[in-house]
Amino acid sequence: AQTVTQSQPEMSVQEAETVTLSCTYDTSESDYYLFWYKQPPSRQMILVIRQEAYKQQNATENRFSVNFQKAAKSFSLKISDSQLGDAAMYFCAYRRTQGGSEKLVFGKGTKLTVNP
């Protein structure tokens, strides 16, 4: 069974600085998808960024980028120029490609605090 581990229960960053959230996963599959979701307090979860495992190039969305290390099964999220609105729970998630379960497997999350 696939598992996703987020080893940092909480992280904090100063406004305008950069922070990296860690995620590792375990799978025997060679092709899959990885995601970072953000869940602000009392608000719904939204997709931050996604990565296809077959792509070597790391995904980037504005201030958000990932460091995808397939051999190490590592998928970290870097947030540059942190803003107060980035404060939230961040969940790393894994999903198989077609032919298997369509579910997202989530880690336990990292609570990010942004200090002004």
Partner 1 sequence: DTGVSQDPRHKITKRGQNVTFRCDPISEHNRLYWYRQTLGQGPEFLTYFQNEAQLEKSRLLSDRFSAERPKGSFSTLEIQRTEQGDSAMYLCASSLFQGSGADTQYFGPGTRLTVL
Question: What is the contact surface with partner 1 in residues (CB under 8 A)?
Answer: 4, 33, 37, 43-47, 50, 52, 91, 93, 95, 97-98, 101-109
Instruction: Give the shortest CB-11-to-partner 1 separation in angstroms.
Output: 16
Choice between 16 and 46, CB closer to partner 1: 46
The β-bridge partners of 12 are 113
Cβ-based neighbours of 53, under 8 Å, separated by 6 or more: 30, 31, 32, 33, 34, 68, 70
Rounded to whole angstroms, the Cα distance separating 5 from 109 reads 9
Instruction: Give the shortest CB-65-to-partner 1 separation in angstroms.
Output: 18
Choice between 44 and 116, CB closer to partner 1: 44
Instruction: Give the shortest CB-9-to-partner 1 separation in angstroms.
Output: 8
Rounded to whole angstroms, the Cα distance separating 18 from 103 reads 31
